[in-house]
């Protein structure tokens, strides 16, 4: 059964039906990409967590596979609400595909343990008979102890697990020779006091000659924007030294990202394209949740991690348009029937621009009442995505810093039926949001305030569907 709904996305990963949250077990195995995800197949709401599963040759076209993990054991099921196979990761060992996940029992006083499951064919998984492999949180943490991410360094396995203590989110580090026996090495990194009191879904990996830590932080019951930290890993001491930190995605709808490294040496991140406690209009149609476009992570000058949509995405392009606009003063309607599933590139010449601000209006209705504004404020150096008038989804404004380099701004915008992903300056700043506009709102405008705007290049493509 596949959900039928006007809200379905055209080129983003979704479950066939039901609920999705975090990406899990993102890995390449036998030359194919595998994606698992937090899944409740029986309702459009969060429920006892299963691991949904799909695979792909290009990270764009996906084939759904049977559910890989379902609650079944005393350590990952129960009769108290809130149990299941929580988030985790995948790795390949001796030709087997191994999943590391959190067994979660009891929503009120969580018992969270780390477990593994293996597969010889990449489709059917067997839980390890001596699970859990880590049955107790460390004294440096508390019972919030989840989301194992496993990787290999030299001849040893390493695992970071998210936890908290004394108001600080933490990444607990474990090592293993054989993936069954895990030894607590210490706290590899923790919040400096401003980075959240619980760290969910930590991911720690090498990028060029540095290491990068990605964390999805909680502040009380609130989940906030994932951030990344560039630093150095001392494997002997088990300590990651934090150097530079920044928000990974400034949008509202990007959470619990996870990375893989592929056989081309690319470090690719994918995130849950929605967040807790948000309005999800698609639930009325029997499903909720999707994944972001996979993005390649690029470390630049040791202080920025850029996110570039994986190059495979260009295979979806069709109907190329070069728009003949160069100077704009006031409001300019680019098209009344702009492709709503599309990629747009706009390059702005800031030196030849004297406007205080300029912006894009997406999915704008004829009367202008419904629209999503993306504002580039050149005085305050800010980018704002405003969903106050976007339609039936969540309202609110997402703000990111704007850094102008070499007198230009490079904008790459991906729209799908119910999502917007904005990449500014080659992915230095990214804003991801879901929106739910009326199907009739198809106008695309550019506007300026107090002056004119110089556009060097404006081009777009319709993007084909990656789903049959």
Q: Which is nearer to ligand DQQ, 87 or 419 (CB)?
A: 87
Residue selected from 17, 56, 77, 87 as contacting ligand DQQ according to rule CB under 6 A: 87
Pick the binder of ligand DQQ from 8, 13, 20, 21 (CB under 6 A). Answer: 21
Residues in the interface with ligand DQQ (CB under 6 A) total 13
Smallest distance from ligand DQQ to CB 383, Å: 26
Burial class (CB in 10 A: 0-12, 13-18, 19+), 344: buried
User: Per-residue x/- mask for ligand DQQ, residues 41 to 60, rule CB under 6 A?
Assistant: --------x-----------
Two structure tokens written together for 131: 């699970």
Query: Within positions 239 to 268, which residues make up the interface with ligand DQQ, using CB under 6 A?
Result: 255-256
C-alpha neighbours within 13 Å on the C-beta side of residue 350: 18
Shortest CB 144 distance to ligand DQQ, Å:
8
CA distance 386 to 381: 16
Beta strands in 76-235 (DSSP E): 84-93, 96-105, 111-119, 126-127, 145-153, 156-165, 168-176, 183-190, 198-207, 210-219, 222-223, 227-234
Q: Site map for ligand DQQ, 129-158, x if CB under 6 A?
A: -----------------xx-----------
In the complex with ligand DQQ, the residue whose CB is nearer, 275 or 410, is 275
Alpha carbon distance 15, 63 (integer Å): 10
Instruction: State the binding string over 193-212 for ligand DQQ (x if CB under 6 A, else -).
Output: -------xx-----------
CA distance 339 to 344: 10
Could you confirm whether 22 is annotated as catalytic? yes
Cβ proximity of 217 and 162 under 8 Å? no
Q: How far is the CB of 287 from ligand DQQ (least distance, A)?
A: 16
The two structure tokens encoding residue 307: 């996110």
Please, which residue, 48 or 286, has the CB nearer to ligand DQQ?
A: 48
Task: Provide the minimum distance between the beta carbon of 357 and ligand DQQ in the complex, in angstroms, as a whole number.
Answer: 35
365 φ/ψ angles, rounded to the nearest 5 degrees: -80, 165
Largest CA distance in the chain: 69
Give the nearer residue to ligand DQQ in terms of CB position, either 148 or 359. 148
CA distance 253 to 420: 10
Q: Is 465 exposed, middle or buried (0-12, 13-18, 19+ CB in 10 A)?
A: middle
Q: Which of residues 413-452 bind ligand DQQ (CB under 6 A)?
A: none
Among 279, 305, 254, smallest CA distance to 421 is for 254
Q: Is 281 in contact with 436 (CB distance < 8 Å)?
A: yes
Tell which one of 17, 102, 361, 466 touches ligand DQQ (CB under 6 A).
Answer: 102
Please, what is the minimum distance in Å from the beta carbon of residue 348 to ligand DQQ? Answer: 36
Residue 386 as a binder of ligand DQQ (CB under 6 A): the answer is no
Smallest gap from Cβ 156 to ligand DQQ, in A, equals 25
CB 76, min distance to ligand DQQ, A: 11
> Which residues participate in catalysis according to the annotation?
22
- Contacts with ligand DQQ, residue ranges (CB under 6 A): 21-22, 38, 49, 86-87, 102, 146-147, 200-201, 255-256
């Amino acid at each position: 059964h596949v959900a039928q709904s006007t809200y379905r996305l055209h080129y983003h990963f979704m479950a066939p039906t039901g609920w999705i949250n975090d990406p899990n077990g993102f890995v390449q195995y036998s030359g194919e990409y595998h994606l698992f995800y937090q899944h409740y197949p029986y309702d459009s709401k969060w429920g006892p967590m299963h691991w949904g599963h799909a695979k792909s040759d290009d990270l764009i076209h996906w084939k759904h596979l049977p559910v890989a993990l379902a609650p079944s054991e005393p350590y990952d099921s129960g009769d108290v609400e809130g149990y299941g196979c929580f988030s985790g990761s995948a790795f390949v060992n001796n030709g087997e595909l191994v999943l590391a996940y959190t067994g979660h029992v009891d929503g009120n006083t969580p018992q969270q343990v780390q477990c593994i499951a293996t597969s010889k064919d990449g489709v059917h998984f067997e839980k390890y008979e001596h699970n859990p492999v880590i049955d107790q949180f460390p004294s440096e943490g508390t019972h919030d102890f989840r989301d194992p991410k496993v990787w290999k360094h030299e001849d040893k396995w390493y695992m970071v697990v998210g936890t908290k203590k004394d108001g600080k989110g933490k990444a607990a580090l474990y090592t293993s020779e054989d993936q069954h026996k895990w030894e607590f090495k210490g706290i590899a990194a923790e919040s400096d006091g401003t980075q959240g009191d619980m760290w969910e879904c930590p991911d720690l990996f090498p990028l060029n000659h540095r290491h990068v830590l990605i964390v999805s932080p909680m502040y009380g019951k609130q989940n906030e924007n994932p951030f990344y930290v560039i630093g150095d890993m001392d494997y002997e001491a088990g300590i990651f030294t934090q150097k530079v930190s920044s928000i990974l995605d400034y949008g509202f709808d990007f959470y619990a990202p996870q990375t893989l490294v592929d056989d081309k040496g690319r470090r690719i991140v994918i995130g849950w394209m929605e967040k807790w406690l948000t309005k999800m209009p698609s639930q009325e149609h029997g499903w909720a949740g999707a994944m972001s476009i996979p993005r390649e992570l690029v470390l630049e000058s040791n202080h920025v991690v850029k996110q570039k949509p994986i190059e495979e995405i260009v295979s979806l392009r069709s109907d190329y348009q070069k728009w003949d606009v160069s100077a704009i003063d006031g409001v300019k309607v680019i098209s009344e029937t702009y492709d709503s599933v599309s990629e747009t590139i706009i390059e702005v010449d800031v030196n030849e621009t004297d406007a205080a601000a300029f912006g894009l209006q997406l999915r704008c209705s004829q009367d202008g009442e419904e629209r999503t504004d993306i504002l580039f404020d050149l005085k305050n150096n800010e980018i704002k995505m405003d969903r106050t008038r976007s339609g039936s989804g969540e309202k609110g404004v997402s703000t990111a810093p704007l850094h102008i380099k070499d007198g230009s701004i490079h904008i790459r915008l991906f729209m799908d039926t119910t999502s917007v992903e904005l990449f500014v300056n080659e992915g230095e700043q990214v804003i991801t949001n879901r929106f739910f506009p009326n199907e009739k709102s198809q106008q695309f405008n550019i506007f300026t305030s107090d002056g004119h705007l110089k556009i060097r290049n404006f081009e777009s493509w319709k993007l084909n569907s990656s789903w049959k």
